[in-house]
């Protein structure tokens, strides 16, 4: 079975215990659209992100959160930071731009092998297999599959799949992106990526302890 990866924000609430954080961050870092701009313009978002900051035990005090006053500024900032640059954007959102130790084709192929395990295929019309959003949507699908698992063996295997993918892919390159964003003047993206990176590390730690 194949599927496209699509984002659908939970506009209703900020109950992080009931939120798929993989899907939330996939939504946050997807290409700009009006719906996303309106979501992050909601007056409750700064307090909600501050609560997530504390929940994930991020370092230091929450630095605040300032979204863009209009869609045009949001779109321009996203493109300038993540999409456009010479020879590449300041912080590309795909793995092969950060991991120079392996050929890009090899990285893309290995991502695809992981997706095949649960019958998923990234839609090339939307993004590349090693893009951050595609990787997060895959982990969201793994989480959903584990919640629906019929046996302990299936649950265990899906937890191992998630842990291995975090190790081999997301955590292998988001640390470099996180360092590049530490001095980013755009507070919104700096805070969101810090939360994302902390969530990935926290999740990996949770999965590493009980698995043999």
Buried b (16+ CB within 10 A) or exposed e, 2-36: eeebebebeeeebeeeeebbbbbbbbbbbebeeeb
**Tokens at residue 84, please?**
């456009």
Domain residue spans in the chain?
A: 22-208
Residue 97 DSSP class: G
Confidence (pLDDT) at 11: 46
Of the pLDDT bands very low, low, confident and very high (cuts 50, 70, 90), residue 88 is confident
What is the rounded average pLDDT for all residues in the chain? 88
Q: For the residues 180-208, what does the mean pLDDT come to?
A: 93
Residue 94 confidence (pLDDT) above 90: yes
* Multiple choice CATH, 22-208, 1.10.3480.10, 3.40.1160.10, 3.40.50.150, 1.20.1540.10: 1.10.3480.10
Q: How confident is the model at residue 121 (pLDDT cuts 50, 70, 90)?
A: confident
Q: What is the 3-state secondary structure (H, E, C) of 6-72?
A: CCCCCCCCCCHHHCCHHHHHHHHCCCCCHHHHHHHCCCCHHHHHHHHHHHCCCCCCCCCCCCCCCHH
């Amino acid at each position: 079975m194949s599927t496209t990866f699509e984002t659908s924000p939970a506009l209703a609430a900020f109950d992080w215990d009931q939120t798929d954080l993989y899907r939330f961050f996939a939504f946050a870092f997807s290409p700009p659209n009006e719906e996303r701009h309106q979501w992050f313009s909601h007056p409750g978002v700064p307090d909600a992100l501050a609560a997530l900051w504390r929940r994930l035990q991020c370092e230091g005090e929450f630095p605040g959160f300032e979204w863009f006053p209009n869609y045009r500024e949001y779109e321009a900032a996203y493109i300038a930071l993540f999409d456009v640059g010479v020879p590449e954007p300041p912080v590309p959102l795909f793995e092969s731009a950060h991991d120079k130790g392996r050929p890009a084709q090899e990285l893309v192929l290995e991502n695809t092998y992981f997706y095949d395990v649960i019958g998923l295929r990234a839609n090339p019309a939307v993004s590349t297999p090693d893009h951050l959003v595609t990787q997060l949507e895959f982990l969201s699908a793994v989480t959903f599959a584990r919640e629906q698992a019929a046996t302990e063996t299936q649950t265990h295997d899906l937890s191992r799949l998630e842990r291995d993918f975090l190790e081999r892919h997301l955590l292998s390159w988001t640390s470099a992106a996180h360092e590049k964003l530490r001095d980013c003047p755009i507070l919104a993206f700096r805070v969101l990526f810090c939360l994302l990176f902390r969530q990935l590390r926290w999740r990996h730690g949770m999965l590493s302890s009980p698995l043999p």
